[in-house]
Structure 1
């Protein structure tokens, strides 16, 4: 069974934690509640790991997955998802950015692996704790304790928790799945592009810059992103900048002029024109609607 999501809603009103450090852990019920009880989301640039104690239904890019309790679910960036039968259940969502996790070459390999990207399914499901709920309790409580101590310890614990979950998932890759498929060549470049975009979107909004950084042609980069994400590199840049513009307008207390400068626009006029063109609203209208 397939459905078409015609108007995906933002992942959720981004928590201060996710905005600040690029990592958060929440109950899916809390996310749905913050999203005015709407169950449609987009992962945008975030990687997501769902830890499910209970059964629930998950649509990813229009494909239904009946998820059983005791599993962990790995979802890559740029996915439209819908979640059913999850409110009020013990289902946690770990969301993190590539910039948060990707610190070493090993981390980069993990992010580019079949766990998050493969040609067979939009998601990867691996047994996490089965009927033993103790493992989930340990993970959640451990993170919460570190969070209450200090941010640097919490960030280290969060990185280690993600790595542990990914390593657990690797145990359940069969030999065929572990073999490199040609799509991963594209995904590797696409993921590196996304990491560069996270770093440079304020100062560089042209495809040529990112192609140069990756040592490939603009045409090649566009082919890669279209194959990996179904969008051109130019459109992904626009989407990223638009998302950051809306986020800053809604969440920051800066003036429109200050936001324009912070996001790398030459002046407030160019910023306003970009926002109007790509959102259909002026910055002042977005801020007025939010308040």
Structure 2
């Protein structure tokens, strides 16, 4: 089983110069851009082994398993980032473009386990932007973070352009936003009595969205957190069971995944204004 690496930073940039790769096959809780500044060898990604060389650029999602086999001493430039970086974009005029970028890059399965750049002039631009990004990241002066976000956004838009050229059919792997959110909400409603199927991980895995981003995606489209939606769905289902079934309060609490009858009763009263027993009597 692949090891999993974690970061608590929205953006992390660093360089490694290695004669031999020191890390096991692994995945991450973040996305990763890897620039090969010099050197050559092979990379294994999701079971596919392919060569790398100076100038190559790779994009990895959290689910991608990978490691390198170094043939010639290699300088790796890493940009690690999480979805939090996307949330901090505040330019309303570009909001639509940026959200579309998130959908197309972060939700798509990695169908190109190789160098992602096919427009050579864009490769030059990306390495230039990387140099600017590293310089600003190292200085940490006034407005540094805002500048970093701007540079990074430009890099991601260039990458999206190349991914579309390299694999124009990749968009077919991405649901439209409205369709995806409807499918997620339908899944929650259908499996509200199956706790394991509506966990964050289960929903993320089913709809090919990272665990980090699933809550953000749902809140963006519904104005509610996934926790709020699950509670609301449980309570709506509870109302139906209280009205139409002979289940006891304890049985309903158990079926809907509440800790116990008291937890169910307190939650119901908080959101509905009365205890489940009182609701049943009134209806």
Which interval holds the TM-score relative to the shorter structure? 0.5 to 0.7
- Contact map agreement 1:28 1:86 (CA 8 A) in 2: no
Residue 153 of structure 2 is matched in structure 1 by 163
Q: CA deviation at 1:152?
A: 6.1
1:11 matched to 2:5: yes
* CA displacement 1:202-235 (0-9 Å, x = unmatched): xxxxxxxxx99x6443258757733627x9x8xx
Equivalent position SS for 2:5 = coil
Larger C-alpha radius of gyration, 1 or 2?
Answer: 2
Contact 2:31–2:81 (Cα < 8 Å) also in 1? yes
Q: Which residue of 2 aligns with 1:47?
A: 31
Equivalent of residue 104 in structure 2, options 100, 105, 113 = 113
Deviations 1:117-176 (A, max 9, x none): 24733566115878x97963x434423432344366332233223222223223434568
8 Å CA contact 2:101, 2:160 repeated in 1: no
Contact persistence 2:26–2:66 (CA under 8 A): yes
How is 1:176-215 mapped onto 2 (pairs within 5 angstroms)? 177-179=167-169, 181-185=171-175, 215=185
| Cα distance change on mapping 1:225 and 1:188 into 2, 3 Å | farther
**After superposition, where does 1:131-150 map in structure 2 within 5 Å?**
136=127, 138-150=128-140
- Contact 2:107 2:208 survives alignment (8 Å): no
| 1:206-245 alignment runs, 5 A limit | 215-218=185-188, 219=190, 225-226=205-206, 228=208
| Partner residue in 2 for 1:25 | 13
Runs of 4+ aligned residues of structure 1 deviating over 6 Å after TM superposition are 132-135, 186-190
> Matches of residues 56-67 of structure 1 in structure 2 within 5 Å?
56-67=41-52
Supply the distance in 2 between the matched residues of 1:143 and 1:57 (Cα, whole angstroms): 26
Query: Does the C-alpha gap of structure 1 residues 149 and 81 become closer, same or farther in structure 2, counting only changes over 3 Å?
Result: same
Moved more, 46-55 or 77-86: 77-86
Give unmatched runs, 5+ long, in structure 1: 1-5, 193-210, 238-265, 267-291
Q: How many residues align?
A: 195
SS at match of 2:208: helix
